[in-house]
Amino acid sequence: MLRYFLNRILLLAPTLLVALVLTFGLSRLVPGDPVEQADEDNLEKSTQKETELLRMYRRKAARLGLDKPVFYFSIQPAAYPDTLYKIPFRNRREMLIALLRQNGNWPAVEQYFVEIGNFKTGLQKLPDTLRSEARSSLAQVINDLQFTADFSVAQAQLQTMGGLLQKDPVLQQGMGNAYMQLLESFQYLQAHPQKAKLYLPAFKWLGFDNQFQDVLSGYLRGDLGLSYNDGKPVNAKIGRALVWTVLLNVFALPIAYFLAIFFGVRMAVGKGGRFDRRMNNVLFGLYALPAFWVALVLLVVFSNPDWGMNFISITGMMDLDKNSSWGEWIRVGARQLIVPIICLIYPAMTILARQMRSSMILALNQDFVRTARAKGLSEKEVIWKHAFPNAAFPLIAFFGSLLPELVTGSILLESIFNVPGMGRLLIYGMGTQDWPIVFGIMILGSLLSIIGLLFADLAYAWLDPRVRFGAESNPIAQV
Amino acid sequence: MSKKQVTAGYWANVWQRFRSRSAGRLALRSLGVFVLIAFLAPFIANERPLYAKLEGHTYFPLLQGMLVDMGWRTWDAKLLPAEDWLDKSYDKVWYTFIPYSPASIDHRNLNARGPFERQRVESWRFRHWLGTDKTGRDVAAGMLHGTRMALWVGLVAIGVALFFGLSLGGLAGYFGDQGLVIHKSTLAIWALCLPLGLYYVVYLPGMSYEPSWISQVLAILAYLSAPLILAMLLSRVFKRILPKSGQITLPLDTLLMRLLEIVDAIPATILVLALIATMEQPDTTYMMVVVGVVSSASVARFVRAEFLRVRKQTYMEAGRALGFGHFRLIFRHALPNAVGPLLVLLSFSMAGAILTESSLSLLGIGAADRVTWGSILGGLRGQHEIEWWLAFFPGMAIFFTVLTFKYLGEGLSEALGEK
C-alpha cells in the first residue's frame, strides 16, 4: 500500500509542477501592468514629470520584485533585447516590441525611444513662463508619438511637430536640437532595418533570480501573494470565502449522496419497473434543468412579498458578525442559504443516482450475488452487504472530482444568492482584474483536484487489492 | 428505392431504431425548429422594415441593411440616418412579425415592462409580447436572436473540441504505446521543427503593423505548415541515408494520458475563466473557442478509448495484413466505426457548451453588446426583486435546448445499441 501511495505521488508531483507553470504563464498574459495595478496609489496620476514617474515606477517594481526577469530562460527572436523587462510600463514595452517586430534593429529602436523620452523631459523642463498653445499641442503630439507603432503615422506626427516648432521661435530655440536628434534617430531607424534577426530564434538564460522562482517559493510557503485591490493577503481573503463554500457543501453533499444511494439502489433493484421508469424520467428532466435557472425561479417565487411568500432573501448574511446571537445566525443564514443548498444538491444527486443505478445493475448481475442468494441470504443482505460495496466505486471517484468544486464554489449560485464564498470571490477578482486572487484560487483548485485524484486512487486501492498489485481492476469500477 | 437498399445498411438500421422512439423523434423535430429559428431570426424580429415607401420611393431596408452590414452596399441617402427606424415617417411600411431588433431600445418602455403590464405602444402591432428588459430592449427579439447565438456557440465549441480531441485521441488510440515505430532521426527532426513552427506562430515575424485577421490566420497556417512539410521531407531523406537500426517506439498513448492528467488537474471552470481573462475584450466566439479547447480533453479521452477498442477488431488486423497505410486504416476503417459513439458524446457536449455560454454571459463575462439567453438572465444577478418574464423565457429556452440535445444523445446511444 505504501509503495503504491509513493508511486502515485511521484507521478502526480510533475503534474502539479506543470500546472503551476501553466498558471504562472497565464497570470503573466492577462492584461494590465502589475506594477501599476498593485496597491492603491496610481503612478500616472501622482505625477506628470517624466523622470519622476520613471523613478517611482522602478522603485515600486523593485519593491514588488517585478523588475526581475519573468522566467529562467527566454526563447525569442534574436532581434529582441534580453533586458526588455527592465523598461518601465507595460504599454511602453509593448510599444517597443511593436516597433521591433516591424524593424528588427534594437539599438536603433532604443535610440529612437530614448530620443522621444529626451524630448519629453526637455519640453517639461522648459521654464514655466513659456506657456504657449504651441507648447501644449507639442506635448500632446509627443505623448501620442510615444505610443505610435505605425511608421507612417509616426512620420506624420513628426512633421506636425516640426510645423509647430517653426511657428514658435522661442520653442524652436529650446527644443530645436532635441527635435533634430529625434528626427535623425527616426530616419536612421527607417533606413536600417534588420529583419533577418526577427526570423532567428535565440535562447537566453536569465538566471535563477526571477519572478517565477519568487512566486513558486511563495506558493511552497503557502503564500498566494497580495491582492491588487487593497494590498491585503490573498490567503486571508480565500480563507474567509472558503468557510462559506464549505458550509454550503457540508449540508449539500451528504444529502445528495444519501438521496442518490437511496434512489439509485431502489431503481436498480426494481430495474424496468414502474419506479425505475418514472424516476429515470424525473432524473433526466432534473439533469437538463440548469441549476442557475432553478435558483432564479425559486428566487422569483419565494422572495416576492406581493405573492405573500417572502421566505428567502439574498441579503443579510454579510451583516452578521461575532456579536450576532446563534439564533440570528441560523435564522438569517437559513433564509439565504437554503435555496443555494437545494440547487447544489439536485444536480449532484441526479448524476450520482444515475451512476449508482448503472453500477448497481452491473453488480447485481455478478456471480457472487447469485452465490449469496443461493446461500439463502435475505434480499436486504444481498443488496447492502454484497452488491452495494462493489457498486460504490464510482461514487468514491466522483467524490474525488468534487474536491476542486469545493474551491471553485458554485460560481453561479453564489453570485445569484450573494453568498460571499469562493465562486463570488473568483468572479469579483475577474471583474476588478485582481489577478492574484484569480490565480490563487486556480492554484488552490489544482492542488485540491490533484489531492482528489490521489484520494480516489488510494480509496480504490484500499477497497480493491487488485488495483494495488497492478492487476486488472474491478470491472464495476470502470463504469 | 434502389436495389442496393434491400439489405439495410448499418446506419439505416440505426436510423430505424432512432425513429422508433418518440423521444428521439421529438428531439430531432425540436432541433429542426431551433435551427429554423436560428436562420430566420433576422426576418422574424427586426427593427428595419421589410418594405417601406418613403416620399414616393420604394425601399427594402432589411435586405439592404444585410448588404450594408456585409460591406457590399451603402445606405440610400433617404434612409439615413440608419437608426430609429420606428420613428421615421413612412408613406407605407411593412414590419417583420416583431418590429424590434435585439439591441433596439424602446425609450417609452424602459425599466422592464412585463408582457401583461400596460405598455406605452402605438398599437398592438408594436406590443412587446414577452416584455422588455431594464434598458427597454424587446425580450422576444432577444430570445429569437439568442437561439442563433446558442447554436453558433455550441457549434464553435464542439468544432474546436472535435478538432483537437480527434487528432490527439485518435493518434494515441490508434498507435497505442507500441504502434508507432519511427527512426531516431525522424524523432529528432520533428522535435526540432514542431517547436520552430510554434515559435513562428507566437512571434509571427514579417507581419505588417496591425494586419487584418485574414492575413493573420494565413500567416499562422503558413508558419505552422511550413516546418511540418520541411520535417516530413527531411525525415524521408534521413531515413534513406541512415542505417535502419536506429528505430525506436514512441509511447504516444502514455504521453497523451500524462497531458490529459495535467489538464484534469486544473479545474475546468477556472481554466476557462483564466483563459478568457487573457483577452482584453473577449468576444463570444473567442470564449467558445476556449471552452472547446478545454473540453477537447474529454473528447480526446473518449476517442482514444474508442480507437483502442477498434484497434483490436479483426477488420483492422485484416487491413494491416493487407498492407494498408496508416492514413487509410484511420480514416476508412477506424474512424467510421467510432463515429456513432462520438455523435452521442458531441450531442451531450453541445448541451454542455450552451449551458456554459449561458452561465458565462449570466455572470457578465464576455461581450456585453451581444444579446444571448444568458445575458437576458444576467440582468437579474444579485437583485432582490426579479421580473419573472426575464427569468422565465430565457430559462425555458435554455432548458428545452439542453433537453433536446440530451434526448438526442440518449436516443442515439440507444439506437446504436449501447447499454
Q: How many angstroms away from the CA of A117 is the closest CA of chain B?
A: 23
* Closest residue to B278, CB basis, from A30, A418, A445: A30
Contact between chains at B384 and A15 (C-beta distance less than 8 A): no
In this structure, are residues B173 and B306 in contact, taking their beta carbons and an 8 Å threshold? yes
Return d(Cα B96, Cα A130) in angstroms, integer: 64
Contact between chains at B382 and A358 (C-beta distance less than 8 A): no
Contacts of A303 in chain B (CB under 8 A): 384-386
Q: How many angstroms away from the CA of A438 is the closest CA of chain B?
A: 7
Average of per-residue pLDDT values in chain A: 83
Give the pLDDT of residue A232.
86
User: Chain B: residue nearest A287 by CA?
Assistant: B403
Give the pLDDT of residue B419.
43
Contact between chains at A449 and B266 (C-beta distance less than 8 A): yes
Give CA angle at B258 (B254, B261), nearest 5°: 135
* Closest residue to A287, CB basis, from B261, B264, B406: B406
Contact between chains at B386 and A300 (C-beta distance less than 8 A): yes
Give the pLDDT of residue B62.
83
Contact between chains at B277 and A438 (C-beta distance less than 8 A): yes
* Closest residue to B203, CB basis, from A77, A430, A446: A77
Average of per-residue pLDDT values in chain B: 83
Does the beta carbon of A277 lie under 8 angstroms from any beta carbon of chain B? no
Whether the pLDDT of residue B45 is over 70: the answer is: yes
Domain ranges of chain B: 1-46+112-179+250-419, 48-95, 181-249
Contact between chains at B402 and A299 (C-beta distance less than 8 A): no
Where residue A254 falls among pLDDT bands split at 50, 70, 90?
very high
Contact between chains at A442 and B205 (C-beta distance less than 8 A): no
Give the pLDDT of residue B305.
87
Backbone angles phi, psi at A269, to 5 degrees: -65, -45
Across A35-39, A143-147, A348-352, B392-396, least confident range: A35-39
Q: How many angstroms away from the CA of B382 is the closest CA of chain A?
A: 5
Q: What is the ipTM of this complex?
A: 0.81
The topology (CATH level 3) of B1-46+112-179+250-419 is MetI-like fold (1.10.3720)
Whether the pLDDT of residue A472 is over 80: the answer is: no
Where residue A435 falls among pLDDT bands split at 50, 70, 90?
confident
Over range B307-328, report the average pLDDT: 85
* Closest residue to B391, CB basis, from A22, A296, A358: A296
Whether the pLDDT of residue A479 is over 50: the answer is: no
Give the pLDDT of residue B309.
83
Give the pLDDT of residue A467.
66
User: Chain B: residue nearest A77 by CA?
Assistant: B203
Over range A156-171, report the average pLDDT: 86
User: Chain B: residue nearest A434 by CA?
Assistant: B277
Does the beta carbon of A285 lie under 8 angstroms from any beta carbon of chain B? yes
Which among A293, A365, A441 is the top mutation candidate for probing chain B, defined by the most B β-carbons within 10 Å of its own β-carbon? A293
Whether the pLDDT of residue A474 is over 50: the answer is: no
Does the beta carbon of A393 lie under 8 angstroms from any beta carbon of chain B? no
The model's pLDDT over B160-216, given as tens digits with 9 standing for 90+, comes to 999 999 989 988 988 888 888 888 888 888 888 888 888 888 887 777 777 777 888
Give the pLDDT of residue A130.
61
- What is this structure's pTM? 0.83
The model's pLDDT over A42-54, given as tens digits with 9 standing for 90+, comes to 555 556 677 788 8
The model's pLDDT over B276-307, given as tens digits with 9 standing for 90+, comes to 888 877 778 888 888 898 888 888 988 888 88
**Does residue B405 or residue B8 have the better pLDDT?**
B405
User: Chain B: residue nearest A99 by CA?
Assistant: B209
Give the pLDDT of residue B330.
84
Give the pLDDT of residue A319.
66
Contact between chains at A15 and B196 (C-beta distance less than 8 A): no
Contact between chains at A19 and B262 (C-beta distance less than 8 A): yes
Give the pLDDT of residue A322.
65
Where residue A263 falls among pLDDT bands split at 50, 70, 90?
very high
Express as a percent the part of chain A with pLDDT over 90. 8
Whether the pLDDT of residue A107 is over 70: the answer is: yes
Which among B202, B266, B290 is the top mutation candidate for probing chain A, defined by the most A β-carbons within 10 Å of its own β-carbon? B266
Contacts of B384 in chain A (CB under 8 A): 303, 313-315
A294, A228, A244: which is closest to A428 by C-alpha?
Answer: A228
Q: How many angstroms away from the CA of B57 is the closest CA of chain A?
A: 44
Does the beta carbon of A78 lie under 8 angstroms from any beta carbon of chain B? no
Contact between chains at A296 and B267 (C-beta distance less than 8 A): no
HEC profile of chain A: CHHHHHHHHHHHHHHHHHHHHHHHHHHHHCCCCHHHHCCCCCHHHHCCCHHHHHHHHHHHHHHHCCCCCCCCEEEEECCCCCCHHHCCCHHHHHHHHHHHHHHCCHHHHHHHHHHHHHHHHHHHHCCHHHCCHHHHHHHHHHHHHHCCCCHHHHHHHHHHHHHHHHHCHHHHHHHHHHHHHHHHHHHHHHHCCCHHHHHCEEEEECCCCCHHHHHHHHHHCCCCCECCCCCCEHHHHHHHHHHHHHHHHHHHHHHHHHHHHHHHHHHHHCCCCHHHHHHHHHHHHHHHCCHHHHHHHHHHHHEEHHHCEECCCCCCHHHCCCCCCHHHHHHHHHHHHHHHHHHHHHHHHHHHHHHHHHHHHHHHCCHHHHHHHHCCCCHHHHHHHHHHHHHCHHHHHHHHHHHHHHHHCCHHHHHHHCCCCHHHHHHHHHHCCCHHHHHHHHHHHHHHHHHHHHHHHHHHHHHCHHHHCCCCCCHHHHC
Whether the pLDDT of residue A189 is over 80: the answer is: yes
Listed by number, the residues of chain A in 11-70 with a beta carbon closer than 8 Å to a beta carbon of chain B are 12, 15-16, 18-19, 22-23, 26-27, 29-31
In this structure, are residues B141 and B84 in contact, taking their beta carbons and an 8 Å threshold? no
A/B interface, count of CB pairs below 8 Å: 154
Return d(Cα B67, Cα B81) in angstroms, integer: 16
Whether the pLDDT of residue B4 is over 60: the answer is: no
Contacts of B392 in chain A (CB under 8 A): 297, 300
Rg (CA), chain B: 27
Whether the pLDDT of residue A473 is over 50: the answer is: no
Contact between chains at B382 and A98 (C-beta distance less than 8 A): no
* Closest residue to A296, CB basis, from B385, B386, B410: B386
Contact between chains at B385 and A418 (C-beta distance less than 8 A): no
Contacts of A151 in chain B (CB under 8 A): 209
Give the pLDDT of residue A468.
67
Whether the pLDDT of residue B3 is over 60: the answer is: no
Q: How many angstroms away from the CA of A15 is the closest CA of chain B?
A: 5
Express as a percent the part of chain B with pLDDT over 70. 95
Give the pLDDT of residue B37.
92
* Closest residue to A292, CB basis, from B200, B207, B362: B362
Whether the pLDDT of residue A209 is over 50: the answer is: yes
B196 to A70, A373, B202: CA distances (angstroms):
21, 65, 10
Contacts of A453 in chain B (CB under 8 A): 261, 264-265
